[in-house]
């Protein structure tokens, strides 16, 4: 845009000041014009503007006039536009500028502490209600699927199984390998103090089979597949694909959520088995390198330490974690409203809720399998 | 540069990857003109529009904005040129997490050193221009499709650009909303002298607002006519154009 010039000349009148404006009142000159004109406002005096010399005025120029009038009113000074050029007449006539005059409302309302706490509590209660409703819906859906498995969209289950299971295998194995190494190093430093390094395999195997294996795999599932489920369904929500499904008589829960829950429920125990084997490999390597434990001794100890019930406990946990993570992630996706920002927000919420529900369920299972009382 | 032209297109070939969408485009848009690009569905109207404001790089040829090449300019120079352009996308493309007021204020916040009061006054004025007073604090998801279009137009106008690009402004609007939008386009052009380039195939809008119309032929993959809408409607020498402007079925 070419450089614009803007000039103000003052003339004293009996009521106040007459300001003759000349040049262009636009994006380039607006801020300076407002600041110069505002400095001339005097309480109790009248500011008259002669816009006859203004040869160009755009939206910013009109905004200057509106703000100037508001400032005059605030300082109890008079304001009038004494004359206008043709361009000013046209621009100022586009809208009723008087309607835009009331004081600007507070641009962003700041909530007080109690309002924030109250709002968050209400939101939490609403969220819990939604989770309970969704769990109920999913339970009915699963029960109906058990009664008539032919109605399940098995092709969608297989596709999701590939992305949730097969494609997650490398990252799960890599993480579990490192967990095996870490547990071994920790076991050596603690058990070594008592000369009990021979029990490192017991520690690692029990921890992996019962707790860490399902937990770590669930966290990976929540972060990887849970986020993907929420983003996918959320985007479908934004682009009205969910509405389209409903309009065709499909139940989105049955169509989208059930295959994901089933796929996750199948994939997770498999991932757990593979992950635990790799974790044991990591532990064996570390043991052979840093302790006197031999390979036959390690295998013997693991065989002795891990019972069938421990193994199944881990698998049961893994199945429930997966179904819950998939379900809650899909629920978050369904909650998306609006646009891209909402998809991001609910995807994050899906991961957080997935991890939270995993740990909560783990605590319940631990109490159930090992009653403390 | 042709006299009084603000945009000049020279031997332009556009496409995606290896696929040519349009070739040998040569035309200029005059300062202060309402220029319509039309043609059948899928002919490349929106693609051409996106090339005109520098979103896509052409396969060959050049686009001059106020005499300066957009194709051979640096990113910084193109960004500078873009400050003189406003775009209204087909779906509005409003930022969903921002209110209408914030959407309109955004370009001003980025490109001007306006005080917060002036910023807000100006944004409110722009919204009022398009009958959106009272909806300043609504999110785009809370308003109708027609209002979204108007809000998008208010955002495109935020910096009072010299050239405004509209991609299918009337699409999805009821006849009265569409007519109001046409009137707004005429008012903007008359009061601010803004050059307006519109992609549309809505004949009513074309006849109401267009001063000149560029017709793109999907079969020939090039422009086949450039004249006033009335001239195109009456010109029987070009069958495709005549069929289009007289709503002849295939």
In this structure, what CATH number is given to the domain that contains residue A62?
3.30.750.24
Could you read off the pLDDT of A262-291 as tens digits, one per residue?
999 999 999 999 999 999 999 999 999 999
Residue A171 included in any domain: yes
Asked if the model's pLDDT at residue A104 lies above 70, the reply is no
Number of domains in chain A: 2
Neighbour-count burial of B247, counting CB atoms closer than 10 A to its CB (0-12 exposed, 13-18 middle, 19+ buried): exposed
Inter-chain residue contact B118 with A67, CB threshold 8 Å: yes
pLDDT band at A372 (very low <50, low <70, confident <90, very high): confident
Q: Does A362 score more than 90 pLDDT? A: yes
Per-residue 3-state assignment (H helix, E strand, C coil) for chain A:
CCCCCEEEEEEECCCEEEEEEEEEECCCCHHHHHHHHHCCCCCCCEEEEEEEEEEEECHHHHHHHHHHHHHHHHCCCEEEEEEECHHHHHHHCCCCHHHHCCCCCCCCCCCCHHHHHHHHHHHHHHHHHHHHHHHHHHHHHHHHHHHCHHHCCHHHHHHHHHHHCHHHHHHHHHHHHHHHHHHHHHHHHHHHHHCCHHHHHHHHHHHHHHHHHHHHHHHHHHHHHHHHHHHHHHHHHHCCHHHHHHHCCCCHHHHHHHHHHHHHHHHHHHHHHHHHHHHHHHHHHHHHHHCCCCHHHHHHHHHHHCCHHHHHHHHHHHHHHHHHHHHHHHHHHHCCCCCHHHHHHHHHHHHHHHHHHHHHHHHHHHHHHCCCC
Write down the mean pLDDT value for chain B.
90
Instruction: Please report which confidence band the pLDDT of residue A302 belongs to, taking 50, 70 and 90 as the band edges.
Output: very high
Inter-chain residue contact A60 with B122, CB threshold 8 Å: yes
pLDDT at A103 (0 to 100): 59
The pLDDT of residue A250:
78
Of A39, A69, A100, the one marking the end of a domain is A100
- Interchain CB distance below 8 Å, A67 and B121: yes
Residues of B in contact with A97 (CB under 8 A): 125
Same domain for A74 and A206 = no
Distance from CA of B149 to the nearest CA of A (A): 16
State the pairing for strand pair B34-39/A78-84. unpaired
CB proximity A58 to B under 8 Å: yes
For A156-209, the pLDDT digits (tens) are 999 999 999 999 999 999 999 999 999 999 999 999 899 898 999 999 999 999
Q: Does residue A355 sit in the same domain as residue A241?
A: yes
Q: Regarding beta strands A16-25 and B212-217, do their DSSP bridges make them parallel or antiparallel, or are they unpaired? A: unpaired
A136 found inside a domain: no
pLDDT of residue A105: 54
- Looking at the fold, whether A256 and A183 belong to one and the same domain comes out as yes
- Are A71 and A212 in the same domain? no
Mean pLDDT rounded to a whole number for chain A: 89
**Separation of alpha carbons A165 and A271, rounded Å:** 7
Domains defined along chain B, listed by start = 1-84+162-250 (3.40.50.300), 93-160 (no CATH)
In this structure, of A133-142, A203-212, A327-336, B112-121, the range with the lowest mean pLDDT score is: A133-142
Q: What percent of chain A has pLDDT over 90?
A: 55
| Closest residue in chain A to residue B139, using alpha carbons only | A338
**Is ipTM strictly over 0.95?**
no
A113 confidence band (pLDDT: 50, 70, 90): confident
pLDDT in tens, A138-162: 888 888 888 988 888 898 999 999 9
Which of B95, B114, B157 comes nearest A31 by C-beta?
A: B114
Local confidence band at B13 (pLDDT 50, 70, 90 cut-offs): very high
Q: Which domain holds residue A249?
A: 141-369
Do residue A184 and residue A321 come from a single domain? yes
pLDDT digits 0-9 by tens, A338-353: 778 889 999 999 999 9
Query: Given A59, A91, A342, which is nearest B96 (Cβ)?
Result: A342
**pLDDT tens digit sequence for B57-94:** 999 999 999 999 999 998 888 888 888 999 898 888 88
Q: Are residues A199 and A50 in the same domain?
A: no
**Residue A355 shares a structural domain with residue A206:** yes
Token pair for residue A263? Answer: 């796929």
What confidence score (pLDDT) does residue A1 get? Answer: 47
- Is the pLDDT at A108 greater than 60, yes or no? no
Task: Indicate whether A36 and A173 sit together in one domain.
Answer: no
Residue A211 scores a pLDDT above 80: yes
CA distance B44 to B59: 14
Q: How far is B95 from chain A (nearest CA, A)?
A: 8
* Residue B3 predicted with pLDDT over 80: no
pLDDT for A15 equals: 81
Q: Cα(B203)–Cα(B243) distance, rounded to whole angstroms?
A: 12
A86 and A154 share a domain?
no
Q: In 3-state terms, what secondary structure has residue B238?
A: coil
Which of A8-12, A245-249, A297-301, B145-149 has the highest average model confidence (pLDDT)?
A297-301
More confident residue, A222 or B188: A222
CA distances from A271 to A315, A361, A366, B176 (A): 10, 19, 21, 59
Query: What's the alpha-carbon Rg for chain B, to the nearest Å?
Result: 18
pLDDT of amino acid A3: 61
Same domain as A170, residue A49: no
Which residues in chain B have their CB less than 8 angstroms from residue A99's CB?
128, 133
Is A111 within a domain?
Answer: no
CA dist A222 → A321, A330, A348, A367 (Å): 9, 11, 10, 23
Per the domain annotation, does A129 fall within a domain?
no
* Minimum mean pLDDT range among A242-251, B161-170, B199-208: A242-251
* Position B199 pLDDT exceeds 80: yes
Same domain, A146 and A278: yes
CB contact under 8 A, A1 and B121: no
B55: pLDDT confidence band, cut at 50, 70 and 90? confident
Percent pLDDT > 70 in chain B is: 99
Of B116, B125, B160, the CB nearest to A26: B160
């Amino acid at each position: 845009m070419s450089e614009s010039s803007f000039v103000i000349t003052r003339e004293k009148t009996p009521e106040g000041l007459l300001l003759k404006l000349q040049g262009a009142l636009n994006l380039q000159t607006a801020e300076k014009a407002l600041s110069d004109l505002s400095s001339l406002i005097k309480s109790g005096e009248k500011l008259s503007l002669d816009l006859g010399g203004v040869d160009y005025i755009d939206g910013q120029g009109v905004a200057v006039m509106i703000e100037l009038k508001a400032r005059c009113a605030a300082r109890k000074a008079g304001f009038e536009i004494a004359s206008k050029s043709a361009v000013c007449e046209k621009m100022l006539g586009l809208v009723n500028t008087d309607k835009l005059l009331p004081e600007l409302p507070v641009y962003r309302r700041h909530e007080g502490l109690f309002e924030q706490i109250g709002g968050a509590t209400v939101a939490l209660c609403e969220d819990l209600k939604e989770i309970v409703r969704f769990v109920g819906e999913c339970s009915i859906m699963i029960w109906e699927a058990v009664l008539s498995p032919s109605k399940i969209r098995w092709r969608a289950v297989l596709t999701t199984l590939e992305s949730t299971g097969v494609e997650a295998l490398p990252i799960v194995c890599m993480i579990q390998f490192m967990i095996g190494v870490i547990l071994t190093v920790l076991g050596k430093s603690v058990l070594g103090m008592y000369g009990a390094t021979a029990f490192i395999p017991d520690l690692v195997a029990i921890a992996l089979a019962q707790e860490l294996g399902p937990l770590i795999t669930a966290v990976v599932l929540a972060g990887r597949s849970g986020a993907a489920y929420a983003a996918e369904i959320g985007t479908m929500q934004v682009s009205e694909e969910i509405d389209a499904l409903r309009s065709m008589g499909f139940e989105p829960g049955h169509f989208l959520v059930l295959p994901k829950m089933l796929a996750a429920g199948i994939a997770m125990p498999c991932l757990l088995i593979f992950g635990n084997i790799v974790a044991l490999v990591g532990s064996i390597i570390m043991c052979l390198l840093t302790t006197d434990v031999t390979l036959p001794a390690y295998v013997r100890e693991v065989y002795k330490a891990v019972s069938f019930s421990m193994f199944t406990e881990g698998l049961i946990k893994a199945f429930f974690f997966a179904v819950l993570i998939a379900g809650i992630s899909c629920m978050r996706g369904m909650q998306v409203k609006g646009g891209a920002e909402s998809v991001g927000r609910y995807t994050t919420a899906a991961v957080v809720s997935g991890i939270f529900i995993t740990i909560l369920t783990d605590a319940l299972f631990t109490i159930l399998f090992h009653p403390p009382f | 540069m042709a006299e009084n032209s603000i945009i000049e297109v020279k031997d332009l070939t556009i496409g995606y990857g290896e696929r040519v969408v349009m070739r040998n485009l040569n035309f200029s848009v005059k300062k202060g003109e309402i220029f319509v690009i039309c043609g059948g569905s899928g002919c490349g109207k929106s693609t051409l529009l996106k090339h005109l404001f520098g979103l896509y790089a052409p396969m060959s040829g050049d686009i001059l904005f106020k005499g300066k090449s957009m194709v051979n300019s640096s990113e910084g120079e193109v960004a500078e040129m873009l400050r003189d352009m406003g775009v209204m996308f087909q779906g509005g493309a409003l930022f969903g997490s921002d209110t209408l007021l914030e959407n309109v204020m955004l370009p001003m916040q980025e490109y001007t050193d306006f005080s917060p009061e002036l910023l807000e006054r100006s944004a409110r004025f722009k919204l009022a221009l398009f009958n959106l007073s009272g909806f300043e604090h609504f999110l785009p998801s809370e308003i109708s499709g027609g209002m979204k279009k108007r809000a998008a137009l208010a955002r495109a106008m935020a910096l009072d650009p010299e050239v405004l690009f509209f991609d299918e402004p009337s699409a999805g609007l009821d006849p009265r909303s569409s007519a109001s939008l046409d009137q707004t386009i005429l008012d903007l052009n008359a009061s601010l002298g803004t050059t307006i380039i519109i992609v549309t195939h809505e004949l009513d809008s074309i006849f109401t607002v267009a001063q000149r119309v560029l017709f793109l032929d999907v079969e020939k993959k090039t422009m086949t006519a450039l004249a006033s809408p009335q001239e195109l409607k009456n010109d029987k020498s070009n069958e495709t154009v005549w069929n289009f402007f007289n709503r002849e079925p295939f």
